[in-house]
Amino acid sequence: MNITDLPQKRAHRIIYITLLLIIGLLIISLITGTIFGLARRGNEPVTANQFQAEPVQTDDIRIFSGLGRLRITLANSSILILSISFPYYADDTAFTEELAAKVNDFKLFAEEYFQSLDAQALIHIDEEAAKQEILRRFNNNLRLGRINVLYFHDLMIIEAL
């Protein structure tokens, strides 16, 4: 045994002990994480529904009325007053956020539709056709869900003097 070999053996031993400690800490953290994960989740089985891209919708249906009362100046200088609303699933958070972000677009689509009608069409407006066309425009702009039905409230035309 040589005196110069002692520091080298000591360095190897320190590296060996350090590696054992790191491996031991990794094993302890894996075991702790597994136990914590199992305790937190319970013993419920993993189902295919947990991995669906579409949210599971419940019966919590609400009415979206975020467009407010629209006042649309028409081609003949008359004013159309209209409120538009529609049902949506409140549990679908992503779609609800998309609806809130698109309020100004929805208002613009409704204004463009009614401003494109001539005076005669406005006098004898086909409410169902108007709903279907505006619904089509709304849905073409949505990515995370669909609106199935529109409701018109306060539909009034105030004629220009």
Whole-number Å distance between alpha carbons of 52 and 94: 14
> How many residues would you count in the chain?
161
User: Of 151 and 49, which is predicted with more confidence?
Assistant: 151
Provide the pLDDT confidence category of residue 58 given band limits of 50, 70 and 90: low
Give pLDDT, residue 143: 93
The tens digit of pLDDT for each residue in 89-116 reads 989 999 999 999 999 999 999 999 988 8
**Arithmetic mean of pLDDT, 55-82:** 82
**Arithmetic mean of pLDDT, 33-58:** 60
Among the ranges 72-76, 107-111, 116-120, 124-128, which has the highest mean pLDDT value?
107-111
* DSSP for 44-93, written as a single string: PPP-GGGG-SSPPP-S-EEEE-TT-EEEEE-TTS-EEEEEEEEEEETT-H
